[in-house]
Every structure is written in structure tokens, then in C-alpha cells.
Amino acid sequence: MTAAMIAANVGALATTLLGGLGLFAPMRAARFTSMSPVGATGVSEIRATYGGLFAALGVACLISQSPAFFTVVGIGWVGAACGRAWSVAIDRNTAADNLGGIVFELAIGLSLLAPRL
């Protein structure tokens, strides 16, 4: 396995683990993302989006070992970082958590994109 594929698998594992956090510990995931779910439906949304979706994306990468899968998931993470950067520009959100989120999301995204770089 090449260094680029090892990096991509690390990104996929991080995606899977974060998905597990959302799925099995939604209130911890909510605190991690600075969100407050409203009622049972809000908790379900965290389990679905931050849990099931992220876990499935990560597991799909790990099982398939498909460069195309890694690329799509990596682009998603980079897109999240771009959304945060947009928030810095538009919302003037220069909070350390937000800036750190950009770095965190870029790191995962770029690791998943490593086979294409």
C-alpha cells in the first residue's frame, strides 16, 4: 500500500470514527459541533447526518479502497472547510473553534484526496 493510500485510509477511518460518535453518542457529537438538538427529532438528525452518513461514507472507502470513493468523500470534507472559510468572511466568525474546524476538515479532506494529489 502506498503512502497516499495509507493517508486516505486514515482519513476514512477518522470519518468512520466521527460517524460513530454521532451515531452512538449524539449529545457528545452535538457539543463537538457546537450544536443543540431540539427534541428527539434533533437528536435523530445528529444520529442520521453526523452519525449514519459519516460512518457509511468512511466504511465505504475502507471496504472499497476505491480512489473514486476517497475522492468524493475528500471533496465533501474540503467543501465543509470552504463553508467554514465562507463563515469567516461573511459572518466574521474568527472564533478559535471555527478556525480550528477549517484546519481539521482540510486535514481529513486532503488525506482522503492524497491518492489524487
In a domain, 79, yes or no: yes
What local confidence, expressed as pLDDT, does residue 57 receive? 97
Please report whether residue 117 resides in a domain: no
Residue 69 forms part of a structural domain: yes
Residue 50 domain-assigned (yes or no): yes
Contact between 112 and 72 (Cβ < 8 Å):
no
Q: Which domain holds residue 93?
A: 3-112
Could you give the CA distance from residue 50 to residue 29 in angstroms, rounded to a whole number? 8
Cα 48 to Cα 19: distance, rounded to the nearest angstrom: 9
**Statement: residue 71 has pLDDT above 90:** yes
Helix axes 67-91, 3-24, angle to 10 degrees: 60
Residue 88 located in a structural domain: yes
pLDDT-derived band of residue 17, with 50, 70 and 90 as boundaries? very high
Task: Give the number of domains in the chain.
Answer: 1
Query: Does position 37 have pLDDT exceeding 90, yes or no?
Result: no
Kindly tell me if the per-residue pLDDT of 85 is higher than 90: yes
- Of 96 and 71, which is predicted with more confidence? 71
